[in-house]
Structure formats: structure tokens, C-alpha cells
Amino acid sequence: MAFNFGGAATNPATGLAVPGFGTTTTAAAPAGFGGFGTTTTGAFGGFGTTTTSAAAPGSTFSFAAPASTTGGLFGNTQNKGFGFSSGLGTGTTAAAGFGTGLGTTLGGGFGGFNIQPQQQQQANALSAPTLLGDERDAILAKWNQLQAFWGTGKGYFNNQLPPVDFTQENPFCRFKAVGYSCIPGSKDEDGLVVLAFNKKEADVRSQQQQLVESLHKVLGGNQTLTVNVEGVKALPDDQTEVVIYVVERSPNGTSKRIPATTLYSYVEQANTKAQLTQLAVFMSVTRTELSPAQLKQLLANAPAGVDPIIWEQAKVDNPDADKLIPVPMVGFKELLRRLKIQDQMTKQHQSRVDIISNDISELQKNQATTVAKIAQYKRKLMDLSHRVLQVLIKQEIQRKSGYAIQVDEEHLRVQLDTIQCELNAPTQFKGRLNELMSQIRMQNHFGAVRSEERYSVDGDLLREIRQHLKQQQEGLSQLISVIKDDVEDIKLIEHGLLDRLG
């Protein structure tokens, strides 16, 4: 099994991609697209029949996005960007592991500290190399330790054995950290598969229809199949994530989505993958959730090269164990990639916040306009009510013209006279209304008097102004006295000059 940083290796036996940081053993996939139907048909159209089905490959997913609740290829979706392989798909035999730094073992990974020959060789290279047989071996050991800490280089330790390769997955590498990413929540029945394109989002959106047609041709061109785009999102480095799903229509008119694992197994076939590469697709992953057993097994074993104590502490420090999962960050490239994704998500969040802010401003304007219109309509309604009442009064007068006063009208007149008397009584409502009117007139008079005063000065400020003016006046007096003294001196000088000249 080849090891690949940040990408995916290909299993020669199956033709399926294997994550870069973990090695999983998967069941062999059929040569055709038998995962969708019978194995006798090699085309993509075997969706309808279900006589036999091949085992799906192990679910692969990556948690490389920052700890946020937004979805995406590097967020809460399964991908191979970080190379985190669950190894829990149908037919898998290896447990979860993050790479081959010290050798991934069945059920243990590096978390079990099972001593492998490569691990023993690394230990010999770091502690007791026997390459030269003198004191230079101690210097060589320190050099090997430095390479192991850095996570790169070759460690020479014996003339009879080849040197060991120090990768960033070895347990002595210092450039490691543990972060958190979202757990995917889509089900396998949703059929969501993520395709990552080396194109800008604008280009993908402008050519979305042509892209759907091209994907339909790549998937066999069967008329009973329909390729649908779930969403398009921009990624760092001018890349774009496209989430698709395939719907199969049966002859009786019903339709269903193709499971994500089945669609992914076909997409990862060599011939299909080559056609997708021509469409600028550089990565394809499923977006499926993990079962509680799978999640438990992933968390139980520390990734390769990560100290189990640090891994356990990362699980304890998880801010939301139901939505987030700890993932290792090995090397500066991985850190830079996550930083770019974080910036990308921040920009998307900021753009969404700006849109919401604009919507709120627009709604506030509409609300103010609506309130003003409601007030206007209320005034208009009151005016119309008065007009209608006047019309009714005149109409009633015309209708009752020539008739004698009826009993109910007489009762109404008596009630109105009683109300009028109560209003005109000195101690009743009329007196109170007159008192209120007088108070209102007084308030208006006082308000008019106050409005004539244009300003008022605080007492302390007024004293400061007086003091300042007094000082200015004293200074002017001193200046005037100096000028008078100077004038007298000038007159004396003039008289002296005149006496000498005379």
C-alpha cells in the first residue's frame, strides 16, 4: 500500500482510492457498475435490478475544515483531503489509522504501540546506530533525532540495512496538533457525492448545465438516470466544490436516489475517474454520516504518530462532542490548508452577514414606510367615517321629513338632553374642561415667554467670563499707562533736542 501525503493512493487490486494518511483494506469492486444492479452488466444502467450487489468500499472522509457548523468538502463532509479513513465500510478488515509512520496494525494503529520492524529500525536509528562503529555514531544519532523531530529525511543506522524514512507521521515529529471538525450528517440514502473541481466558482456556475450533461455522459448516459446538483461552493486556491446526486426513474413512474456509496464506487473506477479528470475533477468523496459504532471505534484508537495521552485530552476538550470530532494536523502544509479553509469560511460567513444586514435595513425601511401608511390610512378612515356619518344624518333627515316624532326618537332626545345637562353642570365635565383649557393656555403662554429667551448662561461660566474680561481690562489699563509714560519721555527728549539746537 503506497503512502501519499494529502492525496490518495490507489489499490491495485480494487482500483479504489485509498486515503493519504491511513491504510485500509477494502473489498474488491466489480469491473463494471455492478454496484447499482446486476454484475453481468458493465454499463451504468444496472440501477433497476438488485439480484446481486458488490460490497461497497470503506467509507472515507476527512475533517479538514475549521470547527464551524457550515458544511463543505473540508468541513462536515467526508473527503480525503486530510486522509482520515474510517476503514469501516463493507469488507474492511483494518481498523482506523492515520498513516504508516510506525505501521498501522489490525485493531490498534499507533495507539496500541505494537512494535513493528520499521518502528524498531527507527528506534535503532535514533538511539544506537552502528554505521561507523566509533564516536561518530553518537553524532549520527543526534542527526537522526533532528530529522525525526523535523519529520523528513533518511536515518542511516546499519551498513546491512537500508535507511529508514522519517515522515511527519512518525511519533517523534514535533509539528503536530489536534483540531476539531464537523461530523457529517447526511445519510447514505441521500446519495450525496462531492466532486472537487480545479475551476473557479464563477466558471462552474456559468457552465453548470454543460457540467450536468457531461457528468451524465460519464455515468453511462442512461436515460433513466438524472444528475442533479445539490450545491456549489467556492474553495481556496480557485477550486470549487460541487455536490451531486443521481436519481433513477423506474418504468412504473417511481424514482429513487442512488446511494452515495454505490455512486462513489462507480466514480472511483479507473475509466470513470479518468473521464472525470478530463473535466478538471481532482477529488471525489461521499458525504455520509457515521454510525455510533464507527464513531466510537474512530475515537478509541489514536491516529498514527499521535500520542494517546494527547488524543485522550483532545477528546476531553471537545467543545461539542455531538457535532465535532478531533482530527490531527500533521505538518505545516496541513495547517496552511486549514487556515485557507478557515479564511474561506470566514469570508462566506461575512458575506452572509452582510446580506442579512442589508435585508434588515431594507425591512426597517419598509416597516417605517408601512407605519406611516397605516397612520395615513387611519386618518383617511376617520375622515371617511365622518363623511359617511354626515351623509347618513342627511339621509335620515330626508327620510323622516313629514313624520311625527316617534317614541324611540323621543327617548333618544331625552338621553341627549340629559348628557348635555351633565356636561354643562358647573361641577361636572364642563367645569373640568374649562379648567384644563385654562391650564393649557397658561402653559402655552409660559412656553412663548421661554421661547423669547435665546440662551442662558450658567452661573459658574458667567463668573469665569467676568474674571476673564476683568483681566483683559486690567491688561489694557497697564498698556495705556505704559504708552502714556513713553509719550512723556518722548516729549522730554524732543524738548532737550530743541534746547540744544536753539
Q: Binning pLDDT at 50, 70 and 90, where does residue 454 land?
A: low
Indicate whether 139 belongs to any domain: no
Beta bridge partners of 285: 194
DSSP structural state of residue 60: B
> 388: how many CB neighbours lie within 10 A of its CB?
10
Split at pLDDT 50, 70, 90, the class of 383 is: very high
Does pLDDT of 322 surpass 90? no
Whether residue 199 has pLDDT greater than 50: yes
pLDDT at 448: 61
Cell numbers placing 461: 461660566
Residue with cell 511519533: 171
- Residues 43 and 32 sit within 8 Å (Cβ to Cβ): yes
Q: Which domain holds residue 410?
A: 404-450
Number of H helices, E strands in the chain: 12, 11
pLDDT for 132-167, tens place per residue?
888 888 898 899 889 888 888 888 888 888 888 888
| Predicted confidence (pLDDT) at residue 337 exceeds the cutoff of 60 | yes
What does the alpha-carbon distance between residue 9 and residue 24 come to, in Å, rounded to a whole number? 11
The backbone torsions φ and ψ at residue 95, rounded to the nearest 5 degrees and listed phi first, read: -80, 175
On whether residue 478 sits in a domain, the answer given is: yes
The alpha carbons of the chain give a radius of gyration, in whole angstroms, of: 45
The whole-angstrom separation of Cα 272 and Cα 285 is 14
Residue with cell 470547527: 67
Whether 56 contacts 133, CB under 8 Å: no
Residue 7: strand, helix, or coil: coil
Q: Is residue 110 part of a domain?
A: no
pLDDT of residue 71: 38
- How many domains are there within the chain? 2
Is the model's pLDDT at 87 over the cut of 90? no
How confident is residue 103, by pLDDT bands cut at 50, 70 and 90?
A: very low
CA distance 349 to 336: 20
Q: Which residues is 228 bridged to in the sheet?
A: 245
- What is the residue type of 22? G
Question: Do 445 and 464 have their domain in common?
Answer: no
Please identify, among 413, 432, 450, the residue that sits at the C-terminal boundary of a domain: 450
Q: Which pLDDT does position 101 carry in this prediction?
A: 32
pLDDT band at 483 (very low <50, low <70, confident <90, very high): very high
CA 143 to each of CA 124, 129, 138, 304: distance values in angstroms, whole numbers, following the listed order: 13, 11, 9, 23
In-domain check, residue 412 = yes
Indicate if the pLDDT at residue 5 is higher than 70. Answer: no
**Residues contacting residue 152 through CB under 8 Å, at least 6 positions apart:** 166, 167, 168
498 pLDDT more than 80: yes
Burial bucket for residue 302 (CB in 10 Å: 0-12, 13-18, 19+): buried
Our measurement of the distance from residue 448's CA atom to the centroid of its chain's CA atoms, rounded to an integer in Å, reads 60
> Is the CB of residue 79 less than 8 Å from the CB of residue 194?
yes
Quick count: other Cβ atoms within 10 Å of Cβ 98?
Answer: 28
Which residues are CB-contacts of 450 (< 8 A; sequence separation ≥ 6)?
A: none
Distances from the Cα of 301 to the Cαs of 97, 179, 292, in angstroms? 8, 16, 15
Mean pLDDT of all residues belonging to the chain: 74
User: Are 64 and 21 a contacting pair, CB within 8 Å?
Assistant: no
465 within some domain: yes
Residue 393 confidence (pLDDT) above 80? yes
- What is the 8-class DSSP label of residue 129? -
CA distances from 263 to 232, 241, 256, 268, 501 (A): 19, 17, 13, 9, 127
Q: What is the 3-class SS of 423-467, one letter each residue?
A: HHCCCCHHHHHHHHHHHHHHHHHHHHHHHHCCCCCCHHHHHHHHH
Give the span between the Cα atoms of 31 and 48, in whole angstroms: 18
Q: Is residue 481 a part of any domain in this protein? A: yes
Q: What is the mean pLDDT of residues 298-326?
A: 86
Domain presence at residue 477: yes
Give the chain's end-to-end CA distance (angstroms, integer). Answer: 129
Among 108, 77, 126, CA closest to 283: 77
Write out the three cell numbers for 43: 454499463
Kindly report the length of the chain.
502
Residue 85 lies in a domain: no
Report which of residues 380 and 39 the model is more confident about.
380
pTM over cut 0.95: no
d(CA 92, CA 19): 14
Percent of the chain with pLDDT over 70: 74
Can you tell me the distance from the alpha carbon of 75 to that of 183, in angstroms, rounded to the nearest whole number? 8
Amino acid at 188: D
- What's the pLDDT score for residue 447? 64
DSSP class per residue in 89-103: STT--S--B--SSS-
Residue 302 CA to residue 18 CA, distance in Å, equals 19
| Residue 453 confidence (pLDDT) | 55
Residue of 180, 186, 185, 178 whose CA lies nearest to 324: 180
Query: What are the residues whose beta carbons fall under 8 Å from the beta carbon of 62, sequence distance 6 or more?
Result: 19, 74, 78, 79, 80, 81, 82, 83, 84, 285, 327
